[in-house]
Each structure stands twice: as C-alpha cells, then as structure tokens.
Amino acid sequence: MNDSVAKTLKAVTLGCRVNQYETEYLRQGFEWLGYREAADGEPIDVCIVNTCSVTAESEAKSRKTIRRWAVAHPESQIIVVGCYAGRAADEVAALPGVVDVVGDKRRLPDLLRRWGLAEPPSGIARFPGRRRAYVKVQDGCSMRCSYCIVPLLRGESWSRPADEVLAEVRCLVDRGHREIVLTGIHLGVYSRERGLGTSVPSCDPHLRLADLVAQITDLRDDFRVRLSSIEASEVTSELIELMARRPERICPHLHLPLQSGSDDVLARMNRRWPAERFIQRCQEIRDALDRPALSTDVIVGFPGETDADFVATCQVVEEVGFSNVHAFRFSPREGTPAAAMPGQVLNRKAQQRARDLARLGRLLRRRYAESLLGRRLQVLVERPVAGRTGWMAGASQYHVPVAVPGSRELIGQFASVTADRIEDGLLFGGR
C-alpha cells in the first residue's frame, strides 16, 4: 500500500511497561499492513487502546479513554487489548466504537492475522520517540498474591527464547537505542517455568535471567541494560555478581516490590518473604554494588492493616533507604481473596497513610540524590530542561534524573558528568 492511500493509526497505552511494549508490537504490525501514524488533526482509521486492570481506577481510566476516542474520532475503528479487555471482554465490546477485543496477550499475533497480516512479527524493531527501549522477555505470573488479579488475566508464566530476545536487542541498538529495559510480569522467573510446576514449557530449562543478561551485554559495548521490577527473592547471587562485574553495562538500579513492612500483612498478602528477609537481601545488594538505587512499591490500607502495621512499613522503608517509593492504596479486585477479607480499611485512613508514605518517599529520594553528589554519572540524554537554556536532561544509571550542559545534539547519547548540586528535583552536573 503506498502512502497516498495508507490508512491511519493511533495508539494509547495505560499501565505497565509490558503494555507499552505490546502496544509497540501492534503498532509495527499494523505498519506492515500499510497503516501509518496519523498526524495531528487528521482522521484516524484505527485506534488501539491497551488497557490496565490492576486497580478499579485503572479500569475506569481505560473506559474513559475508549469513550473519549469514540467521541473525538467517530470515524475510527477501536481495537481494545490488555488486562481490562481480558477481565471484562463483553463490557468492553459494548463500549462505543469498539470493533475488536483481545484480552489474552498471547493472541496478539492472531489479532494481526485477523486484520490481514499473514506473518506477524516475532518482536519489535524500534521504539519511536524513546531513547530507551523496553524488551519483553517474559509474561504471565505463577505467584498468587491475594490482592492481585494479574495472574488470572495474564495466565501462567512463559518466557521468550533467548535467541529471539538477542535478535530484538541487536536490532534496537542498531536503531540507536542506548538503554534496553528488560521487562516481564514476573521477570525473575525467566525460563524457570518447569521449576515452578506449571504446564507452560520453558524456553530453555538451563537458562536463567542472569545468563540472559550476560548474553545481552556480550552483544556489543555501546548500550546499557536496566532490569524492570523484580522480586527480591529472585535477585540471585549470580545476578548480583554479574551486576558487580559489569557496572558500566548493567544499571545499578533494582525495583523491588516490598508491598508491606508488616509480617502479618505480608502473610495475608501471600507474599513470599517476611520483612526481615527482604531487608537482608537489600543489604546483600548494597554490599556487592556501588551505592545501588533500590526503588519499591508499597500497598497501604490492605484489609486488616493496623496503625502498628503501617508504622512497621514506614520503618522498613526508612531502614532500606529506598531511592524511590511508589505508594498505592489497596484496591479490591473481584475474584481475588483479598477482596473478601474482613477488616477493610476506611478510604480516608488509606488516603492519609498514602500521603504519609509519599512524604517519607520524597525525603528518601532527596537523601539518595544527595548521596550521588560528587559522583561521576553516565546520563542518557533525553530532552531539554524546561526553562533552562543550554541544559539537557536524562536518566543516570541510578535512574535519578540529571541535567547536563549541552544542546539537542546530545539527545540519544551518553554524557558523563559529575553531580554538583540539586535544583528542582534534578541533579545538575558539569562535564
């Protein structure tokens, strides 16, 4: 199909990095069908909405997004994918403008076939508009946290073959992406499906996440790797040792979901480790790496959470010294054990706890940023600093935003700077 008759496409993503990857996969599949990105103000033939269902608020936002697209672009055919589409397919199908619904992410190639693409791609070739590229290496989850609906929607864990991942990384780096973020719903169990007792075959029963990361960093030396969210219990000694050996290639940043610092709450959540074991693993990481950034997720207002439980959570958060804390209020999800648990916490109390935890998180984020003053940072430059002529901003290897002197010519490149001050939430560094 030539450009003069090419149909137009727009896509919007809600939710996690895995969703962002999958949206890009569909976008590129539709490009193979001859579609092109619609320009501003241009009629849109197909809208893809990738939805989230992790909270009730996420679902409400998904519905609002679909309705907004239908009103703004009544000529469009709306394709809805993602976890909300999987949880409430009939409800989604009844929304205005929706012509196709796919909840099972393993069926995305079938979606492309249904729209006319005989041979769907096995992965993505680029991440337009981004200097870092997400690469999905695993999907599904075999954990059964009592509050989480995702395993019911994504299914059992499965992993992509290493050679497919390596080929995708090589292509993305060739296209200029200088940071590769490995993502998954349950990243730490990469290729361990048989060991978990699931019915899903492993791509290679002898391969582990650390092996995959080593193979990726062996490809070439002009990019770095960052790991997405991973359970502390799955940060193996092999992975820690690899990160310590290759600090310039593997970002010293790990996002480790804590969820609660109370052992009683963790037990009701059906989490794997008590708080003390979590703290020990964080200390093991700190002992091995040079001032690593450890970020986390915490749920407040879980059923039965007392004031003492919340205090315990704050104490653990402060003891670990997280570089960033994402605080979430508990959202009951129909079909999960936690939704029917007694002791549901009043919303106003949960809101106050979330505010208190966010305040502590800001303090710790500032404290961690201050610990980087005087250090040499490797910054992937991404954008100009608003209101600061001659300054560009990007992410350091520690995932802390840094401003560097320079012009737009630096975008997409690494800049090495020494951090010397903090202003407006940014570390500033001289080259």
* pLDDT value of position 203: 53
**Overall average pLDDT of the 231-260 stretch:** 97
pLDDT digits (tens, 9 = 90+) for 47-97: 999 999 988 889 999 999 999 999 999 999 999 999 999 999 999 999 999
* pLDDT value of position 373: 96
Task: Report the b/e string of 136-147 with b at 16+ CB within 10 A.
Answer: bbbbbbbbebbb
Residue 416 has pLDDT above 90, yes or no: yes
One-letter amino acid for residue 219 of the chain: L
- Residue labelled with tokens 């996420």: 58
Work out the angle at residue 84's Cα, subtended by the Cα atoms of residues 83 and 88, and round it to the nearest 5 degrees. Answer: 120
* pLDDT value of position 205: 58
Handedness of CA 360, 362, 367, 371 (dihedral sign): positive
Total residues found in the chain within this entry: 431
pLDDT digits (tens, 9 = 90+) for 119-150: 999 899 999 888 899 999 999 998 899 999 98
The answer to whether the beta carbons of residues 73 and 35 sit under 8 Å apart is: no
**Overall average pLDDT of the 340-353 stretch:** 96
DSSP 3-state percent helix, strand, coil across the chain (nearest 5): 40, 25, 40
Residue 227 has pLDDT above 50, yes or no: yes
Question: Which residues share a beta bridge with 419?
Answer: 429
Work out the angle at residue 392's Cα, subtended by the Cα atoms of residues 391 and 394, and round it to the nearest 5 degrees. Answer: 145
3-state helix/strand/coil string of 40-57: CCCCCCEEEEEECCCCHH
Measuring CA to CA, how many Å separate 340 from each of 130, 195, 261, 304, 346? Answer: 41, 31, 22, 12, 15
How far is the C-alpha of 426 from the C-alpha of 393, rounded, in Å? 8
What percentage of residues in the chain have a pLDDT greater than 90?
86
Measuring CA to CA, how many Å separate 430 from each of 371, 390, 395, 403, 415? Answer: 17, 12, 15, 9, 10
* pLDDT value of position 3: 47
* pLDDT value of position 221: 94
**Overall average pLDDT of the 205-222 stretch:** 91
The model carries a pTM of 0.92
The answer to whether the beta carbons of residues 35 and 149 sit under 8 Å apart is: no
Instruction: Indicate the pLDDT class of residue 290, thresholds 50, 70 and 90.
Output: very high
> H or E segment at 90?
helix 89-93
To the nearest 10 degrees (0 to 180), the angle between helices 307-320 and 275-288 is 10
Comparing CA positions, the residue from 282, 256, 275 lying closest to residue 399 is 256
Q: Is 119 helix (H, G, I), strand (E, B) or coil?
A: coil
Q: How far is CA 77 from the centre of its chain?
A: 28
pLDDT digits (tens, 9 = 90+) for 184-198: 999 999 987 654 444
